[in-house]
Amino acid sequence: MRYFEPFIGGGAVCFSRYGVPSPFKWTGGKRRLLPEIVAAFGDRWTHRADCHISDMNADLINVYHVMRDNNDELRERLEAYQNLYDLAVHEGLSRGHGLDCAQDLFYSIRAVDPTGLTQVEQAARLIFLIQTCFNGLYRVNQRGSFNTPYGKYRRATIVAPTLKLCGQALRDCHIAQGDFEVTTSGASDGDLVYFDPPYIPISATSAFTGYTAAGFTMADQERLAWWFTTLVARGATCVASNAYSPTVVSLYSEHTLYALTTQRTQAAMSGSRGAIQEYLIVGGKS
Ligand SMILES: C[S@@+](CC[C@H](N)C(=O)[O-])C[C@H]1O[C@@H](n2cnc3c(N)ncnc32)[C@H](O)[C@@H]1O
């Protein structure tokens, strides 16, 4: 039995298999819905399985490779960022300049061209930016440059206490960069697959699909629903998350849909927070 997670993001679901929280934030993270997602897979969730994680986002996949293969060096670089950040906050506050120094630090690190950095440096820079930017939102422009503004935090966890444990958990995982259909093409009878794609927009203002420069279109949503059904027909157990939208109901009409209530965490577009609903789609044997 294998476990596939092709929209890995912050990895909350995958890391929960090892009992550790994700060491960095990610928009759409599933920490709050873990009990429902795990229950949807049934008894086989706890079985040991070969883990296959992937994502389209190459910068993110580099973070996973570095976390697994260069964990100590990554920690050193993150500790250096943590010290710089804490110092900048302290200096600004003690001089009556608020978070100005920390903000300058954030923008100077955001301005660095990552192509000139080593893979470990790129991973550390990305974790620093995610942990200190507005709402932990990974967003890039058409050229692929990170463009989320500063998040104004007095305290930011740049070195997570679980960094080492997460690196150890990743030793069991095959890590790949690519489109979901390609990276799960080997899934078959008895395998478990969790899909957590960018959601179908439920309103013009909620349309955040910018995790990658290419975005995630309605044609991608249709392709995903077709692929979900294809893997279920092969004998895999598939679970997917998506928005509380009538389009989701019609795309996944052959499968079982559960409406879950959760807290909105990503308020980048609407500026609103509060309870929202979303669908958990379950297909195949449990
Ligand atoms: C909602 S996030 C996943 C959240 C994640 N499960 C978590 O717990 O943090 C969606 C992810 O889909 C990725 N993505 C976008 N298009 C993709 C594609 N065609 N194939 C695979 N991944 C894609 C994005 O890079 C992003 O990381």
For the chain, give the percent of residues with pLDDT over 70.
92
Any idea where the domains of the chain sit in the sequence? 2-56+178-283, 68-136
Domain 2-56+178-283 has CATH 3.40.50.150: yes
Residue 152 has pLDDT above 90, yes or no: yes
Residue 13 has pLDDT above 90, yes or no: yes
Please indicate whether residue 29, judged by its CB atom, sits closer than 6 Å to ligand 1.
Answer: yes
Please indicate whether residue 23, judged by its CB atom, sits closer than 6 Å to ligand 1.
Answer: no
Q: What's the chain's average pLDDT?
A: 91
Asked if residue 218 lies in contact with residue 200, where contact means CB atoms within 8 angstroms, the answer is yes
Residue 249: Cβ within 10 Å count: 13
Question: What is the per-residue pLDDT for 285?
Answer: 78
Please indicate whether residue 196, judged by its CB atom, sits closer than 6 Å to ligand 1.
Answer: yes
Please indicate whether residue 56, judged by its CB atom, sits closer than 6 Å to ligand 1.
Answer: yes
Residue 168 has pLDDT above 80, yes or no: yes
- The residue whose CA has the least distance to atom 4 of ligand 1 is 9
Residue range 272-279: mean pLDDT, rounded: 82
Phi and psi at 176, nearest 5°, equal -140, 155
DSSP-based helix, strand, coil % in the chain, nearest 5: 45, 15, 40
Residue 271 has pLDDT above 60, yes or no: no
Question: What is the per-residue pLDDT for 268?
Answer: 46
SS3 state at 195: strand
Measure CA of the first residue to CA of the last residue in the chain; give whole Å.
13
Residue 172's pLDDT band, with cuts at 50, 70 and 90, is: confident
